[in-house]
Amino acid sequence: MKNTKTFKYFACTLCILILFTGCSTFNTKETATDEEKETFVQPTQNLQECINVEEAGNKMIDSVVSGVRTKNYFLYSRDFTDKNKKYFNKKTFDKAEAAVKEELGNYKSRKFVGFWVKGAYDILLWKARFSKTKDDVLIQMYVKKVDDTYKIAALKLL
């Protein structure tokens, strides 16, 4: 019972944090560490050539999953919008990655279940499985086109 309450609290907090990362109106200037300055990961190639948002989403989620598996923030966030990268930085990623591994375990698999359009966003959905839970986990990816290529505006686990 305690684990369920803890997970629900964590999931709600993470969802709120991620959902509103791009909605903030205040300016904060954070200086990049030497590691962040030196590390560059090329964005996923040919996203602008994808025939639909599902194809682009599958390419981007592969990068996200690889980044989480290897604890590589730069691989994880390479297809994020600039605004999302600014507010969901490496420090936030490290905390979220550790919390997800603690509560859900390692990522095992996913299945695309659909998407819908809401304003400027396409919201893609995957049903995912993790090693520490028998329950399905819903992954929501908010995608929008920026300069004719797909970018991740927000990502939530439910």
By the 10 Å C-beta count (0-12 exposed, 13-18 middle, 19+ buried), 150 is classed as buried
Domains of the chain: 2-22+46-157 (3.10.450.50)
pLDDT in tens, the chain (158 residues): 556 655 554 554 444 444 444 433 333 334 445 444 445 566 676 777 788 889 999 999 999 999 999 999 999 999 999 999 988 899 999 999 999 999 999 999 999 999 999 999 999 999 999 999 999 999 999 999 998 889 999 999 99
Distances (CA, A) of 18 to 21, 121, 125: 5, 15, 16
CA nearest to 104, candidates 62, 136, 61: 136
The alpha-helical segments, DSSP class H, found in 20-132 are 34-38, 53-69, 73-76, 82-87, 90-103
Name the pTM for this structure.
0.72
The alpha-helical segments, DSSP class H, found in 20-88 are 34-38, 53-69, 73-76, 82-87
Interatomic CA distance for residues 105 and 93, integer angstroms = 16
